[in-house]
Structure 1
Amino acid sequence: MPFDPKRFDQVALRPNGIDTAFGVPDTNLSGLLTFFSATKPVSKHIVTANEGAAVALAAGYYLSTGNIAMVYMQNSGLANALSPLQSIAAKEVFGIPMLLLIGWRGKSAEEEELQDAAVGPRLLGNLETNGIPYQEIPTCIHRAREAIARLLGRSVQEKTPVALIAPRDTFAEYEVDETPEFTSSIKVSYPGITEWISWSPSHLPLSRKDTIRCIMGQMAAQDLSVSSLGGNTREYYMLCKEMNRPINRNFFCLGAMGHVYALSYGVSMGFSSGRIFCIDGDGSFLMHAGNNVLLAGTAPSNLIHIVIYNGVHASTGNHPVAIRRENLISLARGLPYEQKFFVDDAEGLENACKCAEGSTLIVVAVNRLLQKDLPAPSESPHELKNVFMRSLL
């Protein structure tokens, strides 16, 4: 008999400390997710643009709160989640505990849709290949609670994501009077973009390193930053060493391209005593821009998203990012950040940081001068995670 969603939440999830969920809906999970949408505020439930963003949110949430979130998806969405699962959450990297709830479509041939013919039978093998412990949900609710407790215990002990598998008919429908409307924790607006442009595109004064140094100069002692993979993280790390500055107030995102804003948003859910500077690259920003469309409208006022725009994938050989300046400005103009700035020098960047009073996007046009052989952090990912989390206590 399918679980009543409300009872499953009260008996199996909440007693195990699971009250926050992010993900992409699945028909096998429909009743439970309808219950979440009807009863949870934005601070406890976010439907993301893709499954990778949900993993990044859960990772950031854990970093700032020490609490485990649930990430839900259908089995075909596991592929979208693998980048942050493997390069952020995996025990070999930062070791972030989280509970995946995966709807198992195509478990048997008689229930397959055409698109599930390959992914359904291979779900368990995919989880095993990626080192993710799993269990199918028992049909008794008390055994389900015990199964979740065992999985979460293993998640914490082994510092790894774990998965709870939900086949068809796991959850009953949840009846509501009407479809829940999306509600935002802040007023969503689409203002124009403020441009402080002083230089021609061929004579830009700021390099990526200059930009990150300027951002660091705008950070107060209580502020945090999160830097995206590749050059941004390495430049930040090198500047910390050059300036004899501690590294514990920045989270160095070593992988999961395109998910640093979702990760920063997750951090913001447990941190309100200062600002959070999310330092992103243009290629990374564009890779999962759909996530930013959904998250920017509900982002807290202390989250500042800074995109360094040099028009190339610098870390992999300066291959072009195929978007012109005017197209990037047009894209930014339509995003639901409360404030948006386009700048190209230190004064403009400093002014934008000082003016940031709500959910903010700052695009910084920079030149392509890059230092070669940038050092990677010498600390292990677990050491980087631990010093960052301790700095929030």
Structure 2
Amino acid sequence: MLAPSDYLRVLGDAGVTFFTGVPDSLLKEFCACVTMSLKPEDHVIAANEGASVGLAIGHYIGTGSLPLVYLQNSGLGNTVNPLLSLASPEVYGTPMLLMLGWRGEPGKKDEPQHVHQGRVMVKMLEDMDLPVVVLSDDIAEAEAQTKAAAQQARDINGPVALVVKKGTFDKFAAPKAEADLPMGREEAIMAAAETLEDNAAVICTTGMPSRELFEFRARNEAGHHRDFLTVGGMGHSSQIALGLAMAQTDRPVYCFDGDGAALMHMGSMAITGQSGAKNLIHLVFNNGVHGSVGGQPTVGFDIDMPTIATACGYATAQRVTTKEDLQSAIAAARATDGVTFIEVQVRPGNRADIGRPTSTPAQNKIAMMKFLGVE
């Protein structure tokens, strides 16, 4: 395995001077090392992977130095446009290294949302004319690969991809994020879910929130037919919820969102706010971190989400931190004529023994559509 600090030194020796990206579970030890080791001006955790490419381009044209963009391969789609229409040697020609965590690697057991992406990732990169290097877990070989990749990026005036398999990086000791708040996210999700109408539909964001909601329903033998667990597609739950709310205007629809997901495609809040939907309540469970992939910080606690929601056109928007205030806010939102927004600030972290959904995504979709009266 590679010691993250050793490999960070390798990248520095190869001429990398700027790091940006969206954290990934396979890269979490490396990401923690970068966060702890670098100055803020040398490292930016971006809203989404495409924005990371933009930051990398800006750094290069301002310094002439090589940037690195890190991401989970599920975020590759967000990078395609800026990579091909901006960074490509056929357009602006911007040298950079991409570091991709290889979720869904063929032959390795992984979650359903990663299998297709993992199978086609290398071919996608090759079809984009990006040189691909599978990073070794031996530091001497990784150093040689990285120096060669950095030089190739400069030679071709474009991006080169470093693909990282599971288990490549060793552990890195980093302090856990903390926040002095009364509720954890799981408690808040339970508090919200237990107040919902029998005919309400829930669109829940990817990662830990969906797992926590699934376990809550299982413990209460309540079934899972009312919940669409958005296991992939980070940042898109709010628009799935809006689409459903517009399709079934007499049904209450709730979006259980996260701060990282909301930030990733924050422009969607403007569309939701201007939609005219009257049956949608958008809750963002904000713990200030990318909790499902290693706990790297977001800017969730640094911005005023309710003010943003109000500016986007939500009928009401508020922030809560306690169970009582959360349940009161949901009750008030139901009585509001228009789409509403509730930010629920919660402590970072989750149970170590949290399970995963036992139904497949296809089964989840079919069960919900039957509940909605579509099938």
Correspondent of 2:267 among 290, 305, 311: 290
Instruction: Identify if the C-alpha distance between structure 1 residues 299 and 258 changes in structure 2 by more than 3 Å, giving closer, same or farther.
Output: farther
The separation in 1 between residues aligned to 2:267 and 2:205, in whole angstroms, is 17
Contact 2:320 2:342 in 1 (8 A): yes
Instruction: Please state how far the C-alpha of 1:274 moved relative to its aligned partner.
Output: 2.2
Give the 4+ runs in structure 1 shifted more than 4 A. Answer: 82-87, 114-117
Q: How does 1:372-387 map to 2 (within 5 A)?
A: 372-387=352-367
Instruction: Please state how far the C-alpha of 1:338 moved relative to its aligned partner.
Output: 1.0
Instruction: Please state how far the C-alpha of 1:227 moved relative to its aligned partner.
Output: 0.4
Could you say which residue in structure 2 is the equivalent of 1:301? 278
Contact 1:224 1:249 in 2 (8 A): yes
Q: How does 1:290-369 map to 2 (within 5 A)?
A: 290-356=267-333, 357=336, 358-369=338-349
Q: Secondary structure of the residue that 1:218 maps to in structure 2?
A: coil
Among all aligned residue pairs of Structure 1 and Structure 2, give the percentage whose two residues are the same amino acid: 28
Could you say which residue in structure 2 is the equivalent of 1:224? 201
Q: Secondary structure of the residue that 1:225 maps to in structure 2?
A: strand
Instruction: Please state how far the C-alpha of 1:245 moved relative to its aligned partner.
Output: 1.0
Instruction: Please state how far the C-alpha of 1:325 moved relative to its aligned partner.
Output: 4.2
User: Are positions 1:267 and 2:251 aligned together?
Assistant: no
Could you say which residue in structure 2 is the equivalent of 1:388? 368
Contact 1:312 1:318 in 2 (8 A): yes
Correspondent of 1:247 among 202, 224, 227: 224
Contact 2:286 2:300 in 1 (8 A): no
Correspondent of 2:212 among 235, 243, 264: 235
The separation in 2 between residues aligned to 1:225 and 1:377, in whole angstroms, is 15
Correspondent of 1:276 among 253, 257, 273: 253
Q: How does 1:164-243 map to 2 (within 5 A)?
A: 202-243=179-220
- Of structures 1 and 2, the one with the larger relative CO (CA 8 A, separation 6+) is 1
Instruction: Identify if the C-alpha distance between structure 1 residues 388 and 84 changes in structure 2 by more than 3 Å, giving closer, same or farther.
Output: farther
CA deviation vs aligned residue, 1:313-372 (integer Å, no higher than 9, x gap): 110111111243454454344221111011111111111111112201100011124211
TM-score by length of 2: 0.51
Instruction: Please state how far the C-alpha of 1:382 moved relative to its aligned partner.
Output: 0.9
Q: Secondary structure of the residue that 1:262 maps to in structure 2?
A: helix
Contact 2:245 2:251 in 1 (8 A): no
The separation in 2 between residues aligned to 1:351 and 1:361, in whole angstroms, is 13
The separation in 2 between residues aligned to 1:204 and 1:216, in whole angstroms, is 20
The separation in 1 between residues aligned to 2:294 and 2:201, in whole angstroms, is 30
Instruction: Identify if the C-alpha distance between structure 1 residues 392 and 308 changes in structure 2 by more than 3 Å, giving closer, same or farther.
Output: same
Instruction: Please state how far the C-alpha of 1:272 moved relative to its aligned partner.
Output: 2.4
The separation in 2 between residues aligned to 1:202 and 1:325, in whole angstroms, is 13
Q: Secondary structure of the residue that 1:340 maps to in structure 2?
A: strand
Contact 1:84 1:255 in 2 (8 A): no
Contact 1:268 1:300 in 2 (8 A): yes
Greater alpha carbon shift after TM alignment, 280-289 vs 209-218: 209-218
The separation in 2 between residues aligned to 1:333 and 1:325, in whole angstroms, is 17
TM-score by length of 1: 0.49
Paired residue type of 1:257: M
- Structure 1: unaligned runs, 5 residues or longer: 1-49, 53-81, 88-104, 107-113, 118-125, 131-200
CA deviation vs aligned residue, 1:207-254 (integer Å, no higher than 9, x gap): 111111111112111111010000110000011111111100000100
Paired residue type of 1:373: D
CA deviation vs aligned residue, 1:118-143 (integer Å, no higher than 9, x gap): xxxxxxxx9xx67xxxxxxxxxxxxx
Correspondent of 1:371 among 339, 347, 351: 351
Contact 1:265 1:299 in 2 (8 A): no
Contact 1:311 1:320 in 2 (8 A): yes
The separation in 2 between residues aligned to 1:299 and 1:115, in whole angstroms, is 40
CA deviation vs aligned residue, 1:282-325 (integer Å, no higher than 9, x gap): 01001100121123211411111100011011101111112434
Contact 1:222 1:273 in 2 (8 A): no
Could you say which residue in structure 2 is the equivalent of 1:33? none
The separation in 2 between residues aligned to 1:348 and 1:236, in whole angstroms, is 20
The separation in 2 between residues aligned to 1:389 and 1:327, in whole angstroms, is 35
Instruction: Identify if the C-alpha distance between structure 1 residues 116 and 276 changes in structure 2 by more than 3 Å, giving closer, same or farther.
Output: farther
